[in-house]
Each structure stands twice: as C-alpha cells, then as structure tokens.
Amino acid sequence: MKSPFQTIALIGKYNSPEIAEPLLKLADFLANLGLNVVVDSVTANHLSKHPYTVLELDRMVNNVELAVVLGGDGTLLNVARMLAPFDIPLVGVNQGRLGFLTDISIDTMQRTISGMLRGDYVTEKRMLLSASISRGEKHVFDSLAFNDVVIHRGNNSSMLEFEVRIDDEYLYNQRADGLIVSTPTGSTAYALSAGGPILHPALEAIALVPVAPHTLSNRPIVLKSESKLEILMHRSDEARVRFDGHTHFDLHGDDKVLVSRYSKPVCLLHPKGHSYYHTLREKLLWNQTL
C-alpha cells in the first residue's frame, strides 16, 4: 500500500487490558497492508504474544512516522506531550464515546484509518503550553501542557493568594481557589466548567480563568498566544500545580510559575469531513431538542 506513513506506532490506554483485542486487530490489519507496526512497551504488557516490534515511547521518535492512540482524550493528551517535540502526527481512536480529540470510533477504525493512509485526512495543528517553576534562584520543575496548567488549593487549605504578570506587566493580585491557564484545546475542559470561554482550536490564544475568585469582578481573559505569564505565589498552603490533570508539583510560598507557548504544536490527523462544531454539538448536547 502506498502511504506517506510506512511505520506506524500503536499506543493504547495505560492499565486498560480491554484495549488489547482491538489494538491487535488494528495491528494485524495494518501489517496486512504491508506497513510496519510498532507497539508501545507499556501497552505491550497487556497484549498476548504477537510478532510486532516493541519500543519505549521515547525510542519511537526516530522510528515511526505516525502514532495511532487507542483510548480516550486523556491518553492522547499524555502521548501528545511526549511526541509533539518530534513532529509525529497523531490519530485518536476512542474506545467509548466520541471524544474532543479522539474522534474515530473503535468500531469503524479499520475502514477510517485505511482511508486516511491513502491521504483522505485533514491536518490540524494545535498549540501547547510550556511551564516552569522557580523557587528563589533555583529552577525546580517544568512540563508541557496540551489542555491547561492549573494552580489549585488543597482540600483542607484556605484560598490561594497570588500575583499575575503578563509580559512583565502587572495584571492583578488575586485570592481564589485556583487559576487555569488554558490552550484553545483545553477551553472545553476544566476551564469551561470554571466559566471560561470556548475557543476554536485553530485560534492562537491563551485563556486565563480564575477558579472561584474572591472578587466577582475577576473574570476570564483571553491573551495573545505570544504572552508570557508569571504567577507569583504569596499564600500557597497545600497548593499544587497540575499539567493536563496528569503531572503535578507541590508549590511553596514565593514560588514562581512561568507559562508561555511551546515552540512546537501538536499535529492531529482527522478523517475527511471532520467538524469541530459537530463535536461540540455531540459532546455538549447542543443537538438535543428543547
């Protein structure tokens, strides 16, 4: 089969044995098309004996041209953060309901992916965030985020107090339960439930959404994507910063969280006919009759 992708990585939802059967069916299907199949090493722990090459995720970067992720949006978020720096396009297959990112049904994946391998796909570039944490003069942590960087208080702590600067200009001091720094992709995640706006994923923008602010005049604000944010923690008992809800780091008083756009985007491939607005209607139940 003539395809721009000759070596394809298959990555399943972690700690999900039920993904083994459909993943191996897809692997066999791709192999029968004459394509090379590589399986993620963590995923391989849940598979029965198979003939496919097994590689750790960080070793795939120079060996594959496409990654197919089977699971849900959370799985794709995790994989995207790791593979985005290496310009590997991603295809998302959802094992359950339609996802915002994993938009191919597991029941139709062979037919859909076969068409995409022939070139019947659309390419979408989405921005990521890069965040780093400084404690005094020392750099102590960094991570990428596809959805959001979230600073939040602990279960038993009082409100957080922090200062926000944008491009070295003072914006405000705030008391709140937290603060969400979101990409357009993340605007339909935690930021949406906190009252933030929905941003089309093609936009190059960053949303700053306070969580339960003490002052009601503190509202979400949308910034240009080149903005550099600096969040200085003043009162941070049990405070924590999370990246896409996966990676986290405990904050101390006077810690500084720096957030900016990451230099490389995530590349997503969708089947032809993909519609973001259709996904919104399905996920947010806008298609239901009142």
Residues labelled catalytic: 73
Task: Check: CB of residue 60 under 8 Å from CB of residue 9.
Answer: yes
Cα 184 to Cα 69, 127, 230, 269: the distances in Å are 21, 8, 19, 17
Which residues lie across from 162 on neighbouring strands? 174, 233
In terms of DSSP bridges, do strands 121-126 and 104-105 run parallel, antiparallel, or are they unpaired?
A: unpaired
What 8-state DSSP symbol labels residue 186?
A: G
Residue 22, SS3 per DSSP: helix
Q: Return the bridge partners of 241, or none.
A: 151, 249
Note whether 91 and 68 are within 8 A (CB): yes
For residue 84, give the nearest of 128, 38, 148 by alpha carbon.
Answer: 128
Number of residues written out for the chain: 290
